Amino acid sequence: MFKKEVAGRLLDSYLKQVFKDGFFHADPHPGNIFVFEDGKLCFHDFGMMGHLSPEMRENLADWFLAFLDRDIDGVADVYLRIGIVGEEFNRQAFKKNMGDFIEEYYNIPLKEFSLASIMEKSIKIGRAHGISVPSDLLLLGKAFMTVEPIVRELNPDFNLVESMQPYAVTIIKNRLSPSKIAKEGMKFLLDLQRVFREAPKAFEVILHNARESKGELRLKHEKLEDLENHIDRSSNRLAFAIVVASIIIGTSSIAQHHIGPSIWGFSALGIVGYSLAGILGLRLIWAIIKAGRL
């Protein structure tokens, strides 16, 4: 019983380091882990540590849940977000190889899943297609190759998926929280403001360089009217997107502070705001799809 308790504490501690703290011990071999008589753990020798940004943790959670759902497109898309793709990359061939790999786990019980093995094989497939991954992700795979055998030796019945799922689901829920949406929306608006603020200066520099240049610049344009219409449509869509983002930010703030009447525990104003933003967003997406420029 004591061994199973230590195995559970070790796994929970490590999953917390990875998914919650984003800062993990990258060399957790038995000599670097002390177990006290009361079952408490003590990691030491922090010469090799790994760091995972919030974005990387979200990608790992997406990748893990997509793998559990046998979602080939989801697994491939997340891996491409994480990795660095080379020049000669065949997306269809990559997805086929990744799909063949995922199919190997169709009939394997969840308790027999090995994250270390899955990460190792995924990285090998990625390398075969010219995709490299961040070094911290390689450290994570190496660390799990060390942790998993220790936990299995202490508790042969342990279920890695069962332990990891709550951490992954919590990350996804936090991403969809009103405060997170408001924060991301505000960041988007600030970035947009910076672009508009710096654009005149950038154009001024371009014009100055053009005036000072001794070279000769010749321009030939065709169908300038089409370009003008395209710019006009793009400007309208950008303004529309800003309005939708503003509605989402304002609604998130209202929902977070429970302003106004409530319906089944949810802010009525928040429901109306999110519904309006959803309708406007779908209209914008439909307009883009209809124009054939998604």
Do residues 229 and 148 share a domain?
A: no
Residue in 177, 174, 192 with CA at minimum distance from that of residue 239? 192
Q: How many CB atoms lie within 10 A of CB 17?
A: 21
Helix or strand holding residue 262 (H, E): strand 262-263
Q: In the prediction, which pLDDT does 261 show?
A: 72
Do residues 165 and 182 share a domain?
A: no
Residue 82 counted as domain residue: yes
pLDDT in tens, 96-116: 998 898 888 777 777 778 888
Q: How many CB atoms lie within 10 A of CB 40?
A: 11
Q: In the prediction, which pLDDT does 222 show?
A: 58
Do residues 133 and 196 share a domain?
A: no
Which residue do the tokens 């998993």 mark?
A: 148
Separation CA 68–CA 159 (nearest Å): 13
Do residues 7 and 117 share a domain?
A: yes
Please list the pLDDT of the chain residue by residue as tens digits (294 residues).
578 888 888 888 888 998 899 899 988 888 888 888 877 888 888 888 999 998 899 888 888 888 888 888 888 888 888 888 877 788 889 989 988 988 887 777 777 788 888 888 988 998 899 888 888 988 998 888 898 888 888 888 888 888 888 888 888 788 777 777 777 777 777 777 787 778 778 777 887 777 776 555 565 555 555 656 666 666 666 766 777 677 777 767 666 666 667 666 666 766 777 777 778 777 766 766 666 554
Do residues 160 and 239 share a domain?
A: no
Residue 217 counted as domain residue: no
Residue 235 counted as domain residue: yes
136 contact partners, CB below 8 Å, separation of at least 6: 50, 51, 52, 56
Residue 237 counted as domain residue: yes
Do residues 167 and 189 share a domain?
A: no
Q: In the prediction, which pLDDT does 39 show?
A: 76
Alpha-helical segments (H) within 129-177: 135-154, 160-175
- Tell me how far apart the terminal alpha carbons of the chain are, to the nearest angstrom: 57
Residue 138 counted as domain residue: yes
Separation CA 76–CA 67 (nearest Å): 10
Q: In the prediction, which pLDDT does 51 show?
A: 93
Do residues 146 and 278 share a domain?
A: no
Active site positions, annotated: 27
Q: How many domains does the chain have?
A: 2
Q: How many CB atoms lie within 10 A of CB 196?
A: 8
Do residues 19 and 162 share a domain?
A: yes
Q: Are strands 23-25 and 262-263 parallel, antiparallel or unpaired?
A: unpaired
Q: In the prediction, which pLDDT does 109 show?
A: 75
152, 175, 198 — which closes off a domain? 175
Q: Which domain holds residue 265?
A: 178-207+225-290
Residue 83 has, within 13 A of its CA and on its CB side, a CA count of 26
